Amino acid sequence: MTRQLERQKCKQTCEILQELDLDVWMIWVRETAQMADPVLKLVLGSDLVWQSALIFTKSGEKIAIVGNFDSDGIEDLRLFDQVIPYTQSIREKLRMELDRINPSQIALNYSRNDVAADGLTVGMHELLLDYLKGTPFLERFVSAESLISRLRGRKTPTEISRIQKAIEITEQIFTDAAEYLRVGFTEQQIHRFFHERMREYGVTSAWEAERNPAVDAGPDKQFGHAGPTENKTKVGHLLHFDFGVAYQGFCSDIQRMFFFGEEKGIPEEVQTAFETVRDTIRAAARFVKAGRKGHEVDAVARSFIQDRGYDEYQHALGHQVGRNVHDGGTLLAPLWDRYGDSPMGTVEKGNVFTLELYVTTRNFGQVSLEENIVVTKNGCRFLSTPQQELICIKPKAK
Amino acid sequence: MTRQLERQKCKQTCEILQELDLDVWMIWVRETAQMADPVLKLVLGSDLVWQSALIFTKSGEKIAIVGNFDSDGIEDLRLFDQVIPYTQSIREKLRMELDRINPSQIALNYSRNDVAADGLTVGMHELLLDYLKGTPFLERFVSAESLISRLRGRKTPTEISRIQKAIEITEQIFTDAAEYLRVGFTEQQIHRFFHERMREYGVTSAWEAERNPAVDAGPDKQFGHAGPTENKTKVGHLLHFDFGVAYQGFCSDIQRMFFFGEEKGIPEEVQTAFETVRDTIRAAARFVKAGRKGHEVDAVARSFIQDRGYDEYQHALGHQVGRNVHDGGTLLAPLWDRYGDSPMGTVEKGNVFTLELYVTTRNFGQVSLEENIVVTKNGCRFLSTPQQELICIKPKAK
């Protein structure tokens, strides 16, 4: 079991602890096959059965306290300097290690804003309070949100190259689809085609397979997370996809628009809507830069589109992509309740974001696109090849 | 999207609320593709992106308050009497619904003992407290542990038949393996064979694929959760498997012992160890009955094996199996810290348990078996076909 990526992330963890001047990060979990703290995929890549404490220190120590049946497997990964097994209860070994390290702060995985940093459950938290009763550590807990946001958001070159590959395969499947598509196909039939191609290319679904890709044919289907239906493609109609694959554990997330008919047959309001969405994404990408706040980037796109006379989109302009298709951390989002503090976060070098939005036409439904970018030293770079024109599916002569 | 099983479980939920005289159960989640409350697979079978409240009442009402982009998909499932969408914040709609219902208790998913009932995270809990600030509901939260334990543990006939099918395929693969196995194969090679068969039979891994099956060849490998190695099968050695598959979302979990050599070549200490483990499982099965406490069942096996002069096994005799290979609820376990209160739970009709234990021989390593049972009206019934004898792999003439 090679765990090169996880090793890089463990190293990065200790660097970020130094940067934040945070003594200890503790991942506190059990039965992770049933419900895994989302950080485990990043730094461990394996499951833990028994109550377990994974401890990272500012000085670079990495310690795992795990049940006796888990310990061999965890040792094999060679990610930890020390693997401490226990049989009946983790309590004593946990207290001994914390006493030895005596950290001023212990960062735990709870966060109102970021699901990716909110892996600690209420029951496990109560257990921890109980195990550490009477110690000074109870007063030293802090949220690991900013640590996790940095760790997850700052993609290593290996991580970026896997995301890039996921995107390439996604785009290849769209190219295959342009060959395959005909007037009169149902959304469900098209959905099956995408799944056949995914199997062929050896990738899995970046989210719930039933709803990936979202396939929306014609003007009457609200985009969103509903599954494919018996709706059929028709001449003069748009076809929308929201599609992502997972390649070696890393995701893509791309939206594309097709039109059934000749280029010259594209109605003006459709063409204008398409260009507006495309140009808004370009404008947002030009504005993206390390140091910007998430909500500032969203605001640029939101006002751009409103200036063109469209209603604002009812979602965020962009989320991070990585291990998960919604990868937590800073959001490119408006300051709405439901986004919590995530739009206040800072865009960092190495972050991978979606840029996505829709506008609504009078007669043809919604037009929506989504691209993926990586934040660079001086701005950002598209990881996807931005869609420039509607992809036209010409009705074939019989 | 048919959700027949989920519909049955939603109905069961309202019945259990009546039985427990509990007004409301609320599942309170977000971004479940990234970290799903384990109950969602039971009652929903789909993902939710936005902060969502799924509310079940004692009077049989089922209400979902979900983000606008989730609502169509959730309506399509036809599991809820009412699907209430929101755009910017769930706060008002949540407060309005709770005001209308005015429940005396609201069961939430937190539990020290049971990971399956501990899906509420600390951050989401804080958000809920914030959203309901100033309402009387803050004082009315109770743990949903006993509800979830009943709901998950009381398998419907459909659930049992899927588990049964998973077990049949598991046993078929063991039969295939008996044909395939030869002296000199590595654990890794054998592990690959199992995965080829799983693909062929259209099932997936019941736990982390890297460690499923556990393949342990020879006397020096500690059983546990370590992955397969370059260890080779040898004449006169034992070979151990811990293997489970998932069939249509339901798991099996079976251990089997093979011996390389003729039946008459089985060393006495191996034969005695095998018979002891086999007979302990039989004795425990005879004792299992609805109404027994989990720890009482474990104690029968534990003393049986110690009476035969072996050390006690360092784990629980049995866990429940279902949607998850470790399916939460009552455990057949000793009263050790690490099992919390789970061994104090009551065995119920419809529960599916493993019965598993090992003994250690002087010269041949461990001997470990695991069977699966379902609790019936008057006792229990084996879902697996209990292993009666060591499966001997005869060295072939060259």
Tens digits of residue pLDDT in B23-54: 999 999 999 988 889 999 999 998 898 899 99
Sort out which chain B residues have CB atoms less than 8 A from A31's CB and list them: 115, 326
Average pLDDT over residues B85-90: 91
Rounded Cα distance, B345 and B354, in Å: 16
H/E element, B238: strand B238-243
Rounded Cα distance, A296 and B16, in Å: 49
Q: Please tell me which residue of chain B has the smallest CA distance to A90.
A: B338
pLDDT, residue B208, reads 85
pLDDT, residue B223, reads 72
pLDDT band at residue B189, thresholds of 50, 70 and 90? very high
pLDDT band at residue B398, thresholds of 50, 70 and 90? very low
Digit-coded pLDDT (tens) for B203-226: 999 998 888 999 999 998 877 656
Rounded Cα distance, B289 and B376, in Å: 8
Digit-coded pLDDT (tens) for B283-294: 999 999 999 999
Rounded Cα distance, B104 and B295, in Å: 33
Sort out which chain B residues have CB atoms less than 8 A from A112's CB and list them: 123-124, 126-127, 130
User: Which residues, 6 or more positions from A313, have their beta carbon under 8 angstroms from its beta carbon?
Assistant: A302, A305, A357, A358, A359
Rounded Cα distance, A103 and A354, in Å: 38
pLDDT, residue B107, reads 98
pLDDT, residue A114, reads 87
Average pLDDT over residues B328-356: 93
Distance, in angstroms, between B38 CA and closest chain A CA? 6
Which residues between 362 and 381 in chain B have a beta carbon less than 8 angstroms from any beta carbon of chain A? none
pLDDT, residue B1, reads 52
A328 touches B: beta carbon within 8 Å:
yes
B183 touches A: beta carbon within 8 Å:
no
- Asked whether B181 and B394 are in contact (CB, 8 A), the reply is no
A72 touches B: beta carbon within 8 Å:
yes
Hey, are the CB atoms on B73 and A211 less than 8 Å from each other?
A: yes
Domains of chain A, each with CATH number or no CATH: 4-152 (3.40.350.10), 154-393 (3.90.230.10)
Mean pLDDT of chain A: 94
Q: Report the predicted TM-score, pTM, of the whole model to 2 decimal places.
A: 0.85
Distance, in angstroms, between A239 CA and closest chain B CA? 18
pLDDT, residue A389, reads 97
pLDDT, residue B221, reads 80
pLDDT band at residue B155, thresholds of 50, 70 and 90? very high
- For the cut 50, the answer to whether the pLDDT of residue A398 exceeds it is no
Digit-coded pLDDT (tens) for A289-320: 999 999 999 999 999 999 999 999 999 999 99
Q: Across the interface, which of B33, B226, B314 has its CB nearest the CB of A207?
A: B33
- For the cut 70, the answer to whether the pLDDT of residue A225 exceeds it is no
- For the cut 60, the answer to whether the pLDDT of residue A206 exceeds it is yes
pLDDT, residue B75, reads 93
Distance, in angstroms, between A73 CA and closest chain B CA? 4
Average pLDDT over residues A62-74: 93
pLDDT band at residue A220, thresholds of 50, 70 and 90? confident
Mean pLDDT of chain B: 94
Return the minimum-mean-pLDDT range out of A323-337, A378-392, B237-251, B273-287. A323-337
pLDDT, residue B73, reads 86
pLDDT, residue B225, reads 56
- For the cut 80, the answer to whether the pLDDT of residue A338 exceeds it is no
Burial bucket for residue B9 (CB in 10 Å: 0-12, 13-18, 19+): buried
Share of chain A above pLDDT 90, in %: 85
Q: Which residue has the higher pLDDT, B57 or B328?
A: B57
Count A/B contacts: CB-CB distance under 8 Å: 181
Q: Which residues of B360-379 are buried (b: 16+ CB within 10 A; e: fewer)?
A: bbeebbbbbbbbbbbbeeee
